[in-house]
Amino acid sequence: MARSPSFAGLILAAGESSRMGTDKALLPWPPPLPGRLPSSETFLSAAIASLMLATDFVLIVVGKNEPKLAPIVYARGASLVTNPDPGRGQFSSLQVGLHEVLNRGRDAAVITLVDRPPVSSATVQLLRDAFEAAPPEVWAVVPDFSGKHGHPYLVGRELMEAFLQAPATASAREVERRYQEHIQYVAVSDPFVTVNINTPEDYAALEPGG
């Protein structure tokens, strides 16, 4: 019997983007091209839009960058929660976000990172459909593009609680490996699921179509 979970969207955006030199959440999307006006959209606003249609609400985890990101978050109808100590690492932001997801009464989440070009809404819906059709022993659905796993990925309450019970020094990948038998990989045709942007060179090499 198919599940009907209530989904939250969760975007982790509390990092300092030290290698990029500027907050990756604020990078224009799509990247500027010669002879064209720069886009008014950003990685953050586009990520919110990609999750909106398949979730009940979208929550962004911010850190010291809250003053810069809050106007974008609220203008797009999303919400934010602050990681009080983002220096603890990305996993701590995941735990902060998942606490809020559970506090808001949701039992599943679509999780992604802000340091990557947004996947299409169709990709998010494909993953959601796969999660809803999966048997109860599947705790998460992860996209697979050409043999590589990426984001966004979908987690149910069981894996959410496993993330929250792990020490802040852990990583999502470590926890996922521990529960490998409960993870389903779904082939997608969207190359952006495996792309992340760390440097200006990474950003300059991006092509909007993937």
Bridge pairing between strands 140-145 and 153-156? antiparallel
Structure-model confidence comparison of residues 51 and 168, the more confident one: 51
Identify the CA nearest to 188 among candidates 137, 158, 143. Answer: 143
Q: Is the pLDDT assigned to residue 38 strictly greater than 80?
A: no
Q: Residue 194 in contact with residue 142, Cβ under 8 Å?
A: no
The reported pLDDT for the residue numbered 70 is 98
What would the pLDDT profile of 127-166 be if each residue is shown by its tens digit?
999 999 999 999 999 999 999 999 999 999 999 999 999 9
Partners of 196 in the beta sheet?
A: none
- Per-residue pLDDT, averaged over 84-90, amounts to 93
CB environment 180-192: b (16+ within 10 A), e (fewer): eebbbebebebbb
33: pLDDT confidence band, cut at 50, 70 and 90? Answer: confident
Bridge pairing between strands 7-12 and 57-62? parallel
- Per-residue pLDDT, averaged over 68-75, amounts to 97
Q: Is the pLDDT assigned to residue 16 strictly greater than 70?
A: yes
- In the predicted model, what is the mean pLDDT of the chain? 93
- CB-based burial label for 36 (10 Å; 0-12, 13-18, 19+): exposed
pTM, rounded to two decimals:
0.95
Q: Is the pLDDT assigned to residue 36 strictly greater than 60?
A: yes
Q: Is the pLDDT assigned to residue 51 strictly greater than 70?
A: yes
The reported pLDDT for the residue numbered 1 is 46
In this structure, how many other beta carbons lie within 10 angstroms of the beta carbon of residue 49? 17
Q: Which of 31-35, 43-47, 119-123, 193-197 has the lowest mean pLDDT?
A: 31-35
Residue 198, classed as helix, strand or coil, is coil
